[in-house]
Chain A
Amino acid sequence: MSFLSKQSVVDGFQKAKESKTKEWRDNLPTWCPGCGHFTGLHGLYEAAERLKIPPKDFVVVSGIGCSGRFPFFIKGFGLHGLHGRAIPIATGIKVASPELTVVVVGGDGDGVGIGGGHFPHAARSNFNLTYILLDNSIYGLTKGQVSPTSPMGMKSGTSPYGNIARPLNPTTLALAYGATFVARTFSRERDMVSELITKAIQHKGFSFVHDLSPCVVFNKDVTYNSLNDVTAKLPDEHDTLNRSNAMSMAESTDPVYQGLFFKEEIPSFDDHVKQVKDGLKH
């Protein structure tokens, strides 16, 4: 994977400003050329366009980190909050105003490091939120330290002798926490990213997209090439209704599967609240 020149990125975005998703485009992204996050952002533009989400009803909430800047690049309401705390903030927005489309965007450090305590509760409550975790297995904004998803042995500024802890697998966590929509994507696969983000937003309940999104500047271990070698699409016959089967497919490290692992239609948090409120009226 070669680096893109800054000019090519700017040109690309000027062109994109004329595209069908222009209604949802705002400030130019500030990421490094080649960053995997561009694909996730593109996927969210595409999803907003396909679902015709009015910007006034579209809220993107992010944490801190490279992925945290998402809201500024999207036309809609945005809240770039605190490190690790995007999920609870988004929860408050969604429960207070259920008519809004609320998307949470965060990184691996944000979501399963500092904010790891919020993820299980949002999933088990089945809040009608979409959570996109852009996983680059590194702390990028602080210039390259190991993260909770970095592989064992990875050397970095804060792990000069190699990372001793084993990496977390956000996809299996989501399955274990009871998320009702669980997908994994790789930022090299633009169409799949766009499609699964769209489906995640359409899903009624807590939907999770684990996007493998390499950092081309600081992570020399988890790269486009290394992921290219190990990733594979889920087989066509994969049963998305079977959580334990999804779990074993998600655990696989060779290959690392991408696609929709699991989806179940059960009442969302909003449905339960409505039921309680309707019951109180009688």
Chain B
Amino acid sequence: MRYSEITIRFCGIAGDGIVASGKILAGACANIGLHVMVNNIYSAEIRGMGKSSATIRFSTSKLYSMGDGLDLLVGMKGKESIIDLRDVKAGGNVIYDSSVIGDVEEEDSLVSHITPEIQGHGLPIQKLANEATGTNQGKNLVAIGAICYFYSLPPEMFVDQIKSVFVHKGDHVIDVNIKAFNLGYEYFKEHYPLNNQFEIDKTSEPRALTSGNDAIAKGALDCGLKFFAGYPITPATRIMEIAAKELPKLGGWTLQMEDEIAAIGAVLGAWFAGKRAMTATSGPGLSLMSEMINLSVMAEIPTVIVNVQRGGPSTGLPTKVEQGDLNIALYGGAGDSPRVVMAPSNSEECYSGIQLAFDIAEKYQTPVIFLSDLFLGQRTETVTIKENIDRDRCTRKKPTSEQLENFQRYQITDDGVSPQIVPGEPGAVYSTTGLEHSVTGNPNYEADVHSMMTAKRFRKFESMVSDLPEANILGDETAEIGIAGWGSTIGSILEGMELAKKQGIKTKLIKSIMIHPQHEDSFRKFFASCKKIIVPEMNYQGQYADLLKSRYGITPIEIHIPSVNPVSPLKIVQKIMEASSELSK
């Protein structure tokens, strides 16, 4: 068979080297110029009951989501992978460990659950791993060797990857892992002679791999991040770890604080001192930050908060994805508390979007909540990031010498933005407060002052729109079915639209990294041109649909998926078909 796209899943328990398998396979595929996306699924426990899986999808064309179904499932010893058999496509393949048959009860054995429409391939994974390494390690490499042969991928690329993944573990580990890889390769060559061929364009350039979390950290560092304060939380911790390592080299610093309130407090302090600062958290942390976000609104101190959404509420599902934090991001504050909410849909947008978040926060002296999610944050994908490095970037409105003479920190202006001076700069001093205040910053509770200041704080959200990117409209402009999506669900929507197109159904999509504020005219025009509007998202309530309904008066078909896994494109296409058949009635 000839393939141009493959999805493979490694499945086992924590400690089986599942994540490393994904890394090696993805790295090798990216090096030969393929498009790759990797999603790791693991439980919230570090050891013991923890099932772990890595799904790697690679293709000759651009990937937007994890797609649907597996071409190949690799199950390590144990029953963990049995449930994943249902994800294998008809005609798909399974590699199971033939050296452990008999060690486990039949009902716990993967091979005994393989149905006739799936092809099983025995591989003595444990035995060959023992032979190569003298230990139980290296099982993953045996499987990768077999896969390399099975899809006739170039083995030299894998050897390079093994070297780079294990470089910090020394030559011996590299040697035994290469041996394990070769044993797996040779076993398959001998027992399952080649009949598959993956189409590789030999002229393709190697592609870069990144995750959403990495792209956010890099984007922030490249646009002048000087200070990061955070508190470890899945799935956002990696952003802090990168900041901790890189900031000191760039003259900045990262603080691990005692809780999320302290983290956002320190970030506000750094911004007050005129330095670009950021924190990254997830739902429970964002909840704790609510009062500080309000201080940021009231005192007009910029701040940037990355929220990598996981399943909620409460501690919820720490290692599963959901888009359930839109409402708290938009509305999670006492009083009239406007804030910017952004949601990137892929790693490229994580990089460019976080830079925009800093520019907007600093220029408009407002909190910006940057809503990523676990799937986008942790998945690895091949990307083309357009680097934009300017670490001295500053968009703060500084006072003129005239304004300095009788400095008013909260001067009323047409665009709502007042000039800001920071500690250490000569010319004027001021005090700020979370109390309502007059133009000087002194506490003031008069009705007209409160009205004037509230209006000023909201006016900034009108004036900033001209600085924001337009919404993107993708698909067929003449389509009567329109889809509005946000965040990482966009990827599944795009693939769902492709599938619909193959069925002869035209669709179009409106997407914007800006959730609030938005270029509302573009949305109005788009919705006016649709006969059916579909709004898919990963939450139970339809939080984005609610926003669009109240803002644009539309009545969409809503797809609510309280999710633990990324949205399947098939679910999207199903709704598209339904909408299409209703239209043709």
Bound pair (A, B): yes
Contact with A along B250-261 (1 / 0, CB 8 A): 010101011101
- Kindly state whether residue B430 has any CB partner on chain A within 8 Å: yes
Once A56-B425, A121-B262 are accepted as A-B contacts, the answer to whether A92 and B269 lie under 8 Å apart by CB is yes
- Assess whether A212 is interfacial by the CB under 8 Å rule: no
CB distance from A34 to the nearest CB of B (A): 22
Chain A: which residue is nearest B255 at the CB level?
A95
B residues in contact with A58, CB < 8 Å: 429
- Across the interface, which residues of B come within 8 angstroms of A277, CB to CB? 248, 251
In the complex, residue of chain A having the shortest beta-carbon distance to the beta carbon of B256: A121
Tell me the bound Cα distance from A280 to B251 in angstroms.
10
With A and B bound together, what is the CA distance between A277 and B424 in angstroms? 22
B423 touches A93 (CB 8 A): yes
A273 adjacent to chain B (CB < 8 Å):
yes
Residues of chain A within 8 A (CB-CB) of B425 are: 56
Q: Are A27 and B442 in contact (CB under 8 A)?
A: yes
B227 A95 Cβ-Cβ under 8 A: yes
Among B227, B255, B262, B431, the most chain A Cβ lie within 10 Å of the Cβ of: B431
Chain B residues in 8 Å Cβ range of A89? 265-266, 268-269, 272
Inter-chain contacts of A55 with B (CB < 8 A) = 429
Could you tell me if A92 and B443 are in contact, using CB atoms closer than 8 angstroms?
no
Interface of B is mostly: mixed
Residue numbers in B under 8 Å from A273 (CB-CB)? 248, 253
**CB neighbours of B426 from chain A (8 A):** 56
Interface size on B, residues (CB 8 A): 45
Closest to A71 in B: B431
Q: Which residue of B lies closest to A57 (CB)?
A: B424
Cβ A97 vs Cβ B253 within 8 A: no
Is residue A9 within 8 Å, beta carbon to beta carbon, of the partner chain? Answer: no
**Complex: chain A residue closest to B265, CB-CB:** A88
Which of A77, A78, A80, A92 meets B434, CB within 8 Å? A80
In angstroms, Cα B235 to Cα A106, docked, is 35
User: In the complex, what residues of A have CB within 8 A of residue B262's CB?
Assistant: 85, 87-88, 91, 117-118, 121
Contact B429 A92 (CB under 8 A): no
Question: Could you count the A-B residue pairs with CB atoms below 8 Å apart for me: how many are there?
Answer: 142
Q: Is B292 an interface residue (CB 8 A)?
A: yes
Quick one: closest A residue to B269, CB to CB? A92
Q: Which of the residues A69, A85, A92, A118 comes within 8 Å of B270, measured between beta carbons?
A: A92
In angstroms, how far is the closest chain B Cβ from the Cβ of A59?
A: 5
Q: Are the CB atoms of A57 and B423 closer together than 8 Å?
A: yes
Q: Please tell me if B413 contacts chain A, counting CB pairs below 8 Å.
A: no
Cβ contact within 8 Å between B423 and A61: no
User: Complex formed: what's the CA distance from A57 to B251 in Å?
Assistant: 20
The answer to whether residues A118 and B258 also contact, given A89-B268, A95-B227 and a CB cut-off of 8 A, is yes
- Complex contacts, B275 vs chain A, CB 8 Å: 96-97
- With A92-B265, A92-B270 as known contacts, state yes or no: A56 contacts B292, CB within 8 Å: no
Contact A97 B424, CB 8 Å, known A55-B429, A79-B272, A121-B257: yes
B295 at the interface (CB under 8 A from A): yes
A58 to B434, CA, bound (A): 20
- Taking a contact as CB atoms under 8 Å apart, the answer to whether A91 and B269 are in contact is yes
Asked if B258 and A82 sit within 8 Å, CB to CB, the answer is no
B229–A97 CB distance below 8 A: no
Residues of B within 8 A of A79 (CB): 269, 272, 299, 431-433
In the complex, per-residue mask of A54-89: 1 if CB is within 8 Å of any chain B CB, else 0:
011111110000000101101111111110010111
- What sequence of 0s and 1s flags, for each residue 266-306 of chain B, a beta carbon within 8 Å of any chain A beta carbon? 11111111110100000000000001100100010000000
For the complex of A and B, 10 pairs with smallest distance between CB atoms = A92-B269, A78-B431, A92-B266, A88-B265, A96-B270, A88-B262, A80-B433, A93-B269, A96-B275, A71-B431
- Ordered by A's residue number, 23 sampled pairs between the chains whose C-beta atoms are within 8 Å are A27-B442, A57-B423, A61-B269, A71-B431, A77-B429, A77-B430, A79-B272, A80-B434, A82-B291, A85-B292, A89-B272, A90-B269, A91-B229, A92-B269, A95-B253, A95-B266, A95-B270, A96-B273, A117-B262, A273-B253, A277-B248, A277-B251, A280-B248
Query: What is B's interface to A at a CB cutoff of 8 Å?
Result: 226-227, 229, 248-249, 251, 253, 255, 257-259, 261-263, 265-275, 277, 291-292, 295, 299, 422-427, 429-435, 442-443
